[in-house]
Amino acid sequence: METKRLASNSALKFLILLLLIIFPVSSFASVGSIEKMSGTSYFRQKGSDKWAVAGIGQPVDAGDKVKTGPDGRMSLKFIDGSKLNVGNSSELEITEFLLRKRNRSAVFSLSTGKARAIINKFSGSTDIKVKTPTSVSGVKGTDFIVMNQGSANVFFGESGKVEVSGDKGEPVYLKRSTMTENTVGASPVAPVRVEQGSALEEVRAELEAITDADKPVEWEKAGQLPNILARWNINYGDYLADGKRYTEALEVFKIAIDLTELKQIKAEAHLERGTVLARNMNEPQKALEEYNTVIQDYPETPSAENAIFSAGIVNTELENRQEATRLFKKYLAQYPQGVHKDTVEFFLRFLERD
């Protein structure tokens, strides 16, 4: 009996050893755990349709999801020493995590919100990606922050090198103190230097705090980050247009639109896109689409005045006399003392001639 028991134990040990050789370690154990937390945070195990309140020490594995509330933050630590810090109002899935002796790979899917990836050094090959609905960032021994807001994404390089790809086009590479961004259907913009004292530096500092469970955060200010970035994009788009980088300017204005929910900023960005399309790219019909969006969707904003005037000018150039006349009369009715009053009256006299 004793001989049979020893033989059975030896066979079991051999089977376990064989399985460990064939399959990676992460197939048998969790790939990490929740190291730190603050505020309201949740955890959902792979295959479950219910969220549970998360806790420090909670194991996490491939397929699991975490979610944070408006004041929630957490730090996930993985078996290779890497960390993924999740900011407030975020949802993230550990889609894949594999660690072997000479290679490691992982995919983290950020549905919405903010995250900071701090990837530990590794002697073998690394293929780690952070995905949003409209971007992919590849990480190799580095540290970066990503914020996803709707279809727009903003990336800040903290150290190392980050490859960022969008829905199309070539990837760009982030280094320390640089940023890039993109939105649906667009490649990331050329990296921009984060200068001291700039709005970008302010946003980066806030995102560093938001993705750190130990740091204090002014949540009201943090909630304004998308609007601050959208306003920066309008200014940056003007800079690009002044430098005759018109296609890039259009993309940056579109990112501003996708980042913010503030009607005034959206209206300004649409107006700027219309101006570039009409004046610099000879695309009058596309310009009219932008102007009409402002006129129809944001009539109460200050940008509506310039949109009506600009649409009237473009229709005049296209010899759409009836539509131009309608728009100029609309302008005078709504803005009898408007800044373009004299010019509008001049064009009306011209258009109403026999």
In contact, 309 and 344? CB cutoff 8 Å: yes
Quote the distance between the C-alpha of residue 87 and its chain's center: 13
What is the rounded CA–CA span in Å between residue 212 and residue 173? 24
Q: Does 229 reside within a domain?
A: no
Residue 280 lies in a domain: no
Span 148-197, pLDDT tens digits: 998 999 999 998 889 999 878 889 999 999 999 999 988 999 999 999 99
Per-residue pLDDT at 137:
86
Give a yes or no: residue 115 inside a domain. Answer: yes
pLDDT for the residue 140:
65
Cα separation of 262 and 303, whole Å? 13
Would you state the pLDDT for residue 142? 86
pLDDT, averaged per 10 consecutive residues of the chain (354 residues), comes to 49 45 50 96 95 96 96 96 96 95 93 95 88 86 90 94 86 94 92 96 96 94 95 98 98 97 98 98 98 98 98 97 97 97 95 78
Q: Kindly state whether residues 36 and 133 are assigned to the same domain.
A: yes
One domain for residues 126 and 6:
no
Range(s) of the domain holding residue 19: 1-28
Residue 331's pLDDT is 98
Residue 141 placed within a domain? yes
What lies within 8 Å, CB to CB, of 299 at 6+ separation is: none
Residue 137 sits in the same domain as residue 4: no
Q: How far apart are CA 164 and CA 189, in angstroms?
A: 10
Domain co-membership, 101 together with 71: yes
Q: Establish if 39 belongs to a structural domain.
A: yes
Structure tokens at 280: 């610099």
- Enter the pTM of the model: 0.88
- Is residue 326 packed enough to be buried (19+ CB in 10 Å), middle (13-18) or exposed (0-12)? middle
Q: Are residues 21 and 139 in the same domain?
A: no
Domain co-membership, 113 together with 16: no
Same domain, 16 and 44: no
CB 233 within 8 A of CB 269: yes
Residue 133 lies in a domain: yes
- 223: how many CB neighbours lie within 10 A of its CB? 12
Tally the domains of the chain. 2
Q: Are strands 59-60 and 103-118 parallel, antiparallel or unpaired?
A: unpaired
**Cα–Cα distance between 199 and 229 in angstroms, integer?**
8
Of residues 185, 175, 200, the one with CA closest to residue 152: 185
pLDDT at 141: 62
The predicted pLDDT at position 353 comes to 82
Q: In the numeric block, which tokens belong to residue 334?
A: 């709504």
Whether residues 46 and 180 share a domain: the answer is yes
- Is 78 within a domain? yes
